[in-house]
A = this chain, B = another copy of it.
Amino acid sequence: MHLSLGCLSKPILHGYFRSSCSWRVRIAFALKGIEYDQAPVNLIKDGGLQRTQQYKALNPMQQVPALEIDGITLCQSLAVIQYIDETRPGPLLLPADPKKRAQVRMISDLIASGIQPLQSLYVIQKIGAEKVQWAQHFIDRGFQALEAILKQTAGKYCVGDEISMADICLVPQVYNAERFKVDVEQYPTIKRLNQTLTEIEAFKLSHPSCQPDTPPDLRA
């Protein structure tokens, strides 16, 4: 009975409105048309509520997101997105063709391993005064590579003409770049893809400006 209830209940996403990794998961849910509950974790208040013992039990890395789903707790946004894709109906977030899947994962990992961690809150906090230059350096470094790759892989979206996990990673990373005042005009393919994607309902609904924990002054 417990397992059945676990499978029937809505997934619970522990996230933060402004976290790009939380936003990735919100986009995936929206694209799949899956209902879920949000349990906001304020990363700033009282030194960060992700550091509480209660939250550490959900995600020992003390990061968002963490997802309670099907009776287990999953962390790491790309693992979460691929789990959703493999267990839920709706549009495929990874294409069926192995080469295209590999390209989607390559672009997703370039962002999720090669850019985002280096400008994440816990790294920036350790860098101190030079934090904006540090973040700009690593975002620019990553975007130069990403632009070169996307020139080869992109159609309407990051890989061909189907929305994928790569697009889910791209938009929140461009949002971070803009927060750190990176000049996105230098990257015409990234800019064009971001413009196309941000017009799509699933990306709008999941935007940091309209989440349950978005502060009133940052609401769209």
Q: Which residues on A are within 8 Å of B, measured CB to CB?
A: 56, 59-63, 70, 72, 74-76, 78-80, 82-83, 86-87, 98-99, 101-103, 105-106, 108-110, 112-114, 116-118, 122-123, 126, 134, 137, 141-142, 144-146, 148-149
A106 and B145 form a contact (CB under 8 A)? no
The docked-state distance in angstroms from the alpha carbon of A59 to that of B126 is 29
A144 and B60 form a contact (CB under 8 A)? yes
Residue numbers in B under 8 Å from A122 (CB-CB): 141
Nearest CB of B to A52, in Å: 15
The docked-state distance in angstroms from the alpha carbon of A211 to that of B42 is 47
Given contacts A83-B98, A98-B83, contact A113 B70 (CB under 8 A): no
Partner among B75, B86, B87, B99 whose Cβ is within 8 Å of the Cβ of A72? B99
Nearest CB of B to A51, in Å: 12
